[in-house]
Chains A and B, each alone.
Chain A
């Protein structure tokens, strides 16, 4: 297995897992508070909608030439990666509040309790809509990440396997635990995914505009090491700097 294949599998798996944990929190909070029937119907309809979009989007994206895909996907990966990495550095340095799935779960439950359910209605539309929106929007991000990463690397099958593995793992964990996956070190995961996406994004976008990397695929490891050192250095500097604030 090549370095870029390992990067592709790891970054797709982790990025998808983080998005899926967020969707699972919404479904669990709604299902436990409002009942499972409508929550699961909303989730199921969202998954069917996503499958339809993925089928159409996948075949359309596959028609785009690989070098154009590398430029676009590389730039998008770099943008996503930097957004995640910047926030992860600020969180690790104590400058930004940690992402807390327990707090989000409690807030979702409190919101769900506020809405009165019509006992005569065949379906609880509040639970249906919340789960549909949560799963559809997070799922759209998962689908976009998986398809673009896979097509740009010309290894869509590997990206799909990684996304399916993340889906199965998060679903099994959700069913077994029956509560938000607050044990998942989401902030650490976002830090790692931010580093991977930034490295991968730099590699592809530069290669897309014509750069020939020294050492070809091995340059990915060099980029990962470089950004890890930069991020570590920034966390250290921010921790010792006096004007710390948590937003």
Chain B
């Protein structure tokens, strides 16, 4: 049980890292991109703009 717990936490730590907001932002950005495509709008710029905005805002976080 101890090893399963450690194994699961290794992957959570590996994938999510020390800031869960990055994972949330990436998933939200991809969903928004998919939504724009479904509406027939040009969507290639959506994710880069969200990523750049995240970087700028996250610089103020502790």
Contacts and interface: CB of A to CB of B under 8 A. Distances in A.
Interface of A: 71, 75-76, 78-80, 82-83, 85-86, 89-90, 95, 137, 140-141, 144, 198, 201-202, 205-206, 208-214, 219, 223, 226-227, 230-231, 234, 238
Contacts of A86: 19, 22, 55, 58-59
Contact of A226 (B26, B37, B48, B56): B48
B51 A83 contact: no
The size bracket of the interface on B is 20 to 34
26 contacts: A75-B30, A78-B51, A79-B15, A79-B17, A79-B22, A79-B23, A79-B26, A82-B54, A83-B18, A83-B19, A83-B22, A85-B55, A86-B55, A86-B59, A140-B14, A202-B47, A202-B51, A206-B46, A209-B30, A210-B34, A211-B37, A211-B44, A212-B44, A219-B44, A231-B55, A234-B59
Query: DSSP class of B's interface residues: helix, strand, loop or mixed?
Result: helix
Nearest to A243: B60
Query: DSSP class of A's interface residues: helix, strand, loop or mixed?
Result: helix
Interface of B: 10, 14-19, 22-23, 26-27, 29-30, 33-34, 37, 43-44, 46-48, 51-52, 54-56, 58-59
Given A76-B15, A227-B52, A205 B59 contact: no
